[in-house]
Chains A and B, each alone.
Chain A
Amino acid sequence: MTRQRGLPGDASKPAFVFALIFFVLAAGILIAGWFSYRKSAQHFRAEVERELSAIAELKVGELVLWRQERLADGGIMFKNATLSALVRRVVEKPADADAQRKLQNWFGKYEAHYQYDEVRLLDTQGVTRLSAPAGLPAVTAEVVEHAAEASRSGQVTIQDFYRSTHDQQIRLAVLIPILDEADGNRPLGVLVLCIDPAKYLYPFIQRWPTPSATAETLLVRREGNEAVFLNELRFQTNTALNLRSPLDRVTMPAVQAALGREGIMEGVDYRGVPVMAALRTVPDSPWALVARIDAEEVYAPLHTQLWQVIVMVGVLLFSAGAGVGLVWRQQRVRFYRKEAESAEELKASEELFRTVSLSVTDIVYEWDLKETLIWYGNIDGIMGYPPQGFPRTLGGWATTLHPEDKERVWKAVEGQLKGATPYALEYRIRNKNGEWRWWSARGTALRDGRGEPYKWIGAISDITEHKQEEQTLLKSRKAALNIMTDAVEARDRAEQMSKALRLKNLVFDASIAANSIADMNGNITEANEAFLRVWGYPSKDEVIGKPLLHFVNDYNDAVAIVTALNSTGQWEGDYLAKRKDGSTFVAYGLATTIKDEKGTVIGYQSAVMDVTGQRDAEKELKKHRDHLEQLIAERTEDLKKSEERFRTVADFTYDWEYWADAQRRLLYISPSCERITGYTQEEFYKYPTLIDTIVHPDDLGVFQAHVDDYHIGTKRTDSTDWSFRIIDSRGNMHWIGHVCRPITGEDGTYKGRRVSNRDITEGKKAEMAIQGFNESLRRNNAELQALNSELEGFAYSVSHDLRAPLRTIDGFSHALLEDYEDKLGVQGKDYLRRVRASTQRMAQLIDDILKLSRITRSEMNIEKVNLTQIAWSIIDELQKSQPERLINIKIAEGLEDTADPRLMRVALENLLGNAWKFTGKQSEAVIEFGSTKEGEKKVYFIRDNGAGFDMAYADKLFAPFQRLHTTEEYAGTGIGLATVQRIARRHGGKAWAEGQVDKGATFYFSLQ
């Protein structure tokens, strides 16, 4: 079967179309990429050019400004009359030291404060006449030349970069011609201000406003056919005035600049590196400025951009290729699928062909999955049938199948048909002679495009001979295996036995017990390491062969042991053993006889341990136990004695003591219970609830609650102290003070409560009496308070009601005096005046009573009070009311106390007011306020040298309304000192006075 396997004709045409599409796309992308790069490169270049131009412009601007400033500096000195006068004096009179000093001074300022490092005065011959710093050597010839020019032109000029001959420094200079104005502007000399460009100019030129690795600005000027670099360069040293370039190197920006070109150029700089530069000439100067930057730095970002474009183009190309490829592939897949479907049929026939061509020994068959079986090969011959005799149907074939194999075969067929398992198995078929033959079979179901089986192809081969051989082999192998197993088992058993024996020996040797074996005659035949150690023998040789007796201290012990062994077969116990050196030790041993298989005794073996230490310890232990028992006995005796003592003490306690255990049983009660309750000890022991019955019914609840709290443990404070009442056997009530404590065992368990009751009836009575007393005191107090408020009400009505009639009396007296003046006559008017005076005095008295009562009633507000200060303020007020009086006032400093400040002010007002008043007739009045000590107490005093008083009336002074002088003599109502006394008393102190008629008085008061 032949079929064209290549691409079908209609499939190659699209491939060409796809390639064409791809090439068009690629061309488009490349062109777009190129243009995009070009555009951004142009844009970028323009940007850089703008930046370079801007920087160049900026620098040029500043350079111009700088030059103008220098010329301006010169302008200050130019045509300066003072300066030119000084210069004339210096030039024309070299001996004029004063002029020199002044000029020198002036120079010094320029040198110190401006950026000029040398200042010189050249005379018309170019000789340096004066300089700062002083004594500079002769100036460079170039400068002399220019100075002469400046002198001629009469203009301030700048001497461009030159190299000073005296120190090889590069400088610029401002040349200022000094003219003698008085003498027709005759030149006197030239002032030279030398500038060191390294100070400002070079750093300024070199500065670049943005961070850059290669950018710099440089200054050049043209000298003949050369461009001269004027400043130090970034990448080359010692260039200023040294580096020169011929003007024919036109690619060099510096040359172009020196030629006067302006604008942007690309060229090669002094290092031979391609650069981009902005060129500018500096107006009014020989300078040209180059702002340059390496092309590499400029284009570095552009390279990055180029790469980006390339990558982008690459990505786009790839995507275009992939897209086109994808479409193309899909078309091809569709084509191949069609191909594959037609190839399926081919495969089926090919399969059949291949199966048939299998080895000839096999028989191939074909099954239509229904009844028909087609056999290829000599199936009839092999099975002993005549030609076409072997069944050609499935049903017929099935009858030849061994019944035991049927199920297996059908299952396998089914598994293959469902596609789950391969069909490969062995089964038995009966031949014509009725003989069972073993067949090996393989088969496969052929499937259509949808996977459905439509035919079965299989092969079978006779394996009967092979099967029989296998059976024989299996049998002989089994026999061999049996023999081998027996041998291995025997070997294992032997190994185990020898191992047990070895183990036995090991146990014997390694035991910590002293093991030994003796023969029938009692001679040692074997002993272990422990034996040698315990008995003190260095080697076994000294032990083997020796009789047992040799190792026992007491002959009788040995006899007893052997006798026991011979009669019972074993012995166990302590005996005294003898070591090699003759010392003995207590041995605890276990010995048995050794018998052979027939039961005949053939020897003895024993295991022994040295128990001397153990036995000693046991003895010691017993000794301790005995001692302890003795101690306990002694303690018991002591306890008995102490209990007796305790009972004696307890029985004689005055208080009623008792002791109840945790179960509330009365363990002990002191005999004094009888004294207090009238009931005996016995009665309390006999009736456990007796206590409850004698407690006063009103207190019983509290009492029982207390006892419950205690025993239950809800409230078991260490000591409670409270009281309750009982009724004694005679019916009298007693107050009992009750104290109890919990009793706890060493482990903290509760063991009951111990109670001490005391008869406190007497104390209680006294306490109640005090309570009654307090009660009556409270009542009195309340009464007093009521009285006090009544008094307050009284005072209030006094102030209001008593004043009203007074006002009427006064008012109408006044009306009478005014309205009926002509009818009253002199005497009548006098009477009415007296009426009015009395009413006013009474009003004053009423006010004073009120004041006094207020002082007594008002609340105290105790705080720190500065009495000195209060006294002074009172004196100030008094002085204001009577400014004409001259009084010698002495007030002690720092008088401070804790008191009510308002009351203290009132008291001092009264006392100082009195002193003021009663010294009124004294020509040299003295008032003194101070403090003194009376015993421990601080006492304040107010002393005056006024009217004084008779000591006989000293007590009356402090009574209200008590006066020692008439109102005519001294005004007043007599309430002031009473007020002072009350204030002193309210502070817990008192007031008193000393005095003598016409000799003054001293008033004292104390606080607290």
Chain B
Amino acid sequence: MLNDKIILLVEDNPDDVELTLRAFKKSNLMNEVIVKRDGAEALDFFFGKDGVADKGNNGLPAVILLDLKLPKIDGLEVLKKLRADERTKLIPTVILTSSKEQNDVVNGYKSGCNSYIRKPVDFNRFAEAVRQMGLYWLVLNEATPKSRGL
């Protein structure tokens, strides 16, 4: 079911969290959204004591929205760690950031992100971007072979 899929949002700015959730709602994406406030928390979510990485596909998010500028461990580092682990390397990850620096974009793709979205200042455009992203990764994009097997 479409709505069973979990979305993981890694974002330190509470305003942005609020606005992103609002954008989801506006786009009728009713999935459960788990929010992590920094890179360490995000990694802990996967690989910590009760991490979801071991729980198989039930606990794994269908898509991760990742900010680059994060306290403690930054977004690129988080992405690399996820890609290095066999259990999490296939989870679609979208970088969601204010930066448009060439370097950030290149490094993001190099580290294995699936999409790169720059947060526009205009909320309407932001909502549109989030909607497109949700539509693609949650609805259109087929689940990875691994998850389909279960």
Contact = CB atoms under 8 A, between A and B. Distances in A.
A858 to B, nearest CB: 9
A892 to B, nearest CB: 33
Contacts of B120: 807
Between A800, A813, A840, A843, the greatest number of chain B beta carbons within 10 A of the residue's beta carbon is seen for A800
A813 B22 CA distance: 13
Interface stretch (B12-20, B43-51, B84-92, B136-144): B12-20
Interface string A833-850: 000100110010001001
Interface in B94-148: 97-101, 119-124, 126
B101 A804 contact: no
B69 A800 contact: yes
B101 A803 contact: no
B101 A807 contact: no
A800 B22 CA distance: 21
A804 B126 contact: no
A815 B19 CA distance: 9
A839 B99 contact: no
B98 A840 contact: no
A808 B98 CA distance: 12
Contacts of B121: 803, 806-807, 810, 839-840, 843
B79 to A, nearest CB: 17
A799 interface: yes
A814 interface: yes
A655 B123 CA distance: 84
Contacts of B19: 807-808, 811-812, 815
B123 A804 contact: no
B15 A807 contact: yes
Contacts of A652: none
A796 interface: yes
A803 B98 contact: yes
Contacts of B16: 804, 807-808
B98 A804 contact: yes
A349 to B, nearest CB: 123
Contacts of B123: 807, 810-811, 813-815
A810 B122 contact: yes
Nearest to A842: B121
A813 B98 CA distance: 19
Nearest to A795: B101
Interface string B22-40: 1000000000000000000
A840 B122 contact: yes
Given A804-B98, A807-B98, A814 B15 contact: no
Contacts of A801: 98
B23 to A, nearest CB: 9
B101 A796 contact: yes
B139 to A, nearest CB: 24
A799 B15 contact: no
Contacts of A812: 15, 19
Contacts of A810: 121-123
Contact of B99 (A799, A806, A807): A799
B100 A807 contact: no
Contact of B15 (A811, A813, A850): A811
B124 A814 contact: yes
Contacts of B15: 804, 807-808, 811-812
Contacts of A840: 121-122
Nearest to B12: A804
Contact of B13 (A796, A804, A814): A804
Interface string A694-737: 00000000000000000000000000000000000000000000
Contacts of B69: 800
Contacts of B18: 811
A839 B121 CA distance: 8
A807 B119 contact: yes
Nearest to B19: A811
A811 B98 contact: no
B130 to A, nearest CB: 11
Given A800-B69, A807-B126, A808-B16, A815 B99 contact: no
Contacts of B97: 800
A807 B124 CA distance: 11
Between A804, A810, A811, A839, the greatest number of chain B beta carbons within 10 A of the residue's beta carbon is seen for A811
B122 to A, nearest CB: 6
A799 B100 contact: yes
Contacts of A807: 15-16, 19, 98, 119-121, 123, 126
Contacts of B122: 810, 836, 840, 843
A796 B126 CA distance: 21
B38 to A, nearest CB: 16
Interface in B63-93: 69
Contacts of A815: 19, 22, 123
A407 B91 CA distance: 130
Nearest to A817: B123
B22 to A, nearest CB: 6
A442 B15 CA distance: 154
Contacts of A847: 100
A839 B15 CA distance: 15
A796 B99 contact: yes
Contact of B126 (A800, A811, A836, A850): A811
A866 B143 CA distance: 47
Interface in A784-820: 796, 799-801, 803-804, 806-808, 810-815
Contacts of B101: 796, 799
Nearest to B15: A808
A134 B101 CA distance: 100
A799 B100 CA distance: 8
A372 B54 CA distance: 135
A938 B69 CA distance: 47
Nearest to B97: A800
A894 to B, nearest CB: 33
Contacts of B98: 799-801, 803-804, 807
Between B18, B19, B121, B123, the greatest number of chain A beta carbons within 10 A of the residue's beta carbon is seen for B121
B69 to A, nearest CB: 6
Interface string A96-116: 000000000000000000000
18 contacts: A800-B97, A800-B99, A804-B16, A804-B98, A806-B121, A807-B15, A807-B123, A808-B15, A808-B16, A808-B19, A810-B123, A811-B15, A811-B19, A811-B22, A811-B126, A813-B123, A815-B22, A843-B121
Interface of A: 796, 799-801, 803-804, 806-808, 810-815, 836, 839-840, 843, 847, 850
5 shortest interchain CB distances as A-B pairs: A843-B121, A808-B15, A811-B19, A814-B123, A811-B123
Given A796-B101, A815-B22, A850-B100, 10 more contacts: A800-B69, A804-B98, A806-B121, A807-B16, A807-B119, A808-B19, A810-B121, A810-B123, A811-B15, A813-B123
